[in-house]
Amino acid sequence: MLFGNCLCGSVRWRYLGAFDLMTHCHCGMCRKAHGTAFATYVMGVRDGFAYTAGEDSITCYESSPGFIRSFCHHCGSVLPNTHLGERFAAPAGGFDGDLGISCAGHIFAKWKAPWHPITDRLPQHDNYPGAAAPAVVRAPPAPATAGVLGGSCLCGSVAYEVTGGFKIVHNCHCLRCRKARAAAHCTNGLTAIENLRLIRGEAQLVNYRLPGARYFAQIFCARCGSPMPRVDRERNFVIVPFGSLDDAPVNGAHDHIFVGSKSSWYPITDSLPQFEGPSR
Ligand SMILES: [Zn+2]
Ligand SMILES: [Zn+2]
Ligand SMILES: [Zn+2]
């Protein structure tokens, strides 16, 4: 039996049985929904899955016709997809422990974020293997013009601009980030507060502050759950989830941090520096 939960713990679930497929999805919708470079999904049969708590905390968003995504409306974590008939798919990052499966390959690889190189040797598919028709995906971010990077949530309610580039970009593997993004790791860029301009949707933003955490919080769109930039006034910077960017930044991650708590199912195959805890 495998167990999972969202970041705040309101929504809990279990899965009985074995998963039969794990893939890394690089589609633009997963990038925005998770706020990450890619999302990792495990699949199995719907019968094995059950929510054990918090079903009243689930908000659904139809990201393309007939495709329902779910998230916890308290903390923003992406939740399992229970709207696939007899099949079941869930973001691997929401589960605890060893999932008993390793990744079979990358899907929608053609649409991957330009700032994220794929460095493992797994097969790369441009679409969903065996899919009858091309799935709905968003084009990869266009190169930025004049140093202004646009960003938005999946439903488009919230949009922002960042100027001036990023001081540093981390792939963070801490448990909080993995649960918050329901992914292998987040990719977050840090920039000065004055570099961020919210264009629309401020009223749509939900700010979840993790009890007991000194700084950790997750800001997300109330309608679609996409993680959005978070202004940290105490530390005087903005944390931008790279998956929400519509334009390509000059560079991607500089390092991997908190690799001491990374997931068992995601091997790091690039040559970026790795830090057990925070960097430097
Ligand atoms: Zn939650
Ligand atoms: Zn996807
Ligand atoms: Zn939204």
Q: pTM of this prediction?
A: 0.94
Instruction: Using a CB cutoff of 5 Å, list residues around ligand 2, an ion.
Output: 25, 27, 30
In this prediction, residue 280 carries a pLDDT of 64
In this prediction, residue 279 carries a pLDDT of 80
Dist. CA 27 → ligand 2 center (Å): 4
In this prediction, residue 94 carries a pLDDT of 97
The per-residue b/e assignment along 43-65, b for 16 or more CB within 10 angstroms, e otherwise, is: bbebeebebeebeebbbebebee
Average pLDDT of the chain is 93
In this prediction, residue 135 carries a pLDDT of 59
β-pairing, 105-107 vs 237-241, is unpaired
Q: pLDDT (tens digit, 9 = 90+) per residue, 81-93? A: 999 999 999 999 9
In this prediction, residue 66 carries a pLDDT of 86
What is the average per-residue pLDDT within 198-204?
97
What is the average per-residue pLDDT within 111-120?
96
Dist. CA 168 → ligand 2 center (Å): 26
On whether the CB atoms of residues 95 and 56 are closer than 8 A, the answer is: no
Q: What phi, psi does 201 have (nearest 5°)?
A: 90, 15
Give yes or no for residue 130 having a pLDDT over 90.
no
Token pair for 137:
């995906």
In this prediction, residue 214 carries a pLDDT of 85
Dist. CA 100 → ligand 3 center (Å): 33
What is the average per-residue pLDDT within 123-135?
73
On whether the CB atoms of residues 274 and 223 are closer than 8 A, the answer is: no
Give yes or no for residue 95 having a pLDDT over 60.
yes
Beta partners for residue 64, in sequence order: 67
Spatial neighbors of 220 by CB under 8 A, at least 6 apart, are 71, 76, 153, 205, 206, 208, 226, 227, 228
Dist. CA 257 → ligand 1 center (Å): 24
Token pair for 173:
């593997």
| Dihedral over alpha carbons 98, 274, 39, 128 (to 10 degrees) | -90
Write the CATH number of the domain with boundaries 142-261. 2.170.150.70
Q: Do domains 2-111 and 142-261 have the same CATH topology?
A: yes
Give yes or no for residue 149 having a pLDDT over 70.
yes
Helix, strand, coil shares, percent, the chain, to 5:
15, 40, 50
Cβ-based neighbour number of residue 6 at 10 Å: 26
Q: pLDDT (tens digit, 9 = 90+) per residue, 166-194? A: 999 999 999 999 999 999 999 999 999 99
Give yes or no for residue 54 having a pLDDT over 90.
yes
Given pLDDT bands bounded at 50, 70 and 90, which one contains residue 128? confident
Dist. CA 280 → ligand 2 center (Å): 33
Q: pLDDT (tens digit, 9 = 90+) per residue, 34-44? A: 999 999 999 99
- Assigned fold of 2-111: 2.170.150
The per-residue b/e assignment along 111-130, b for 16 or more CB within 10 angstroms, e otherwise, is: bbbebbebeeeeebbebbee
Percentage of the chain modeled with pLDDT above 90: 86
Q: pLDDT (tens digit, 9 = 90+) per residue, 203-215? A: 999 999 999 888 8
Each domain of the chain, given as residue ranges in start order, spans: 2-111, 142-261
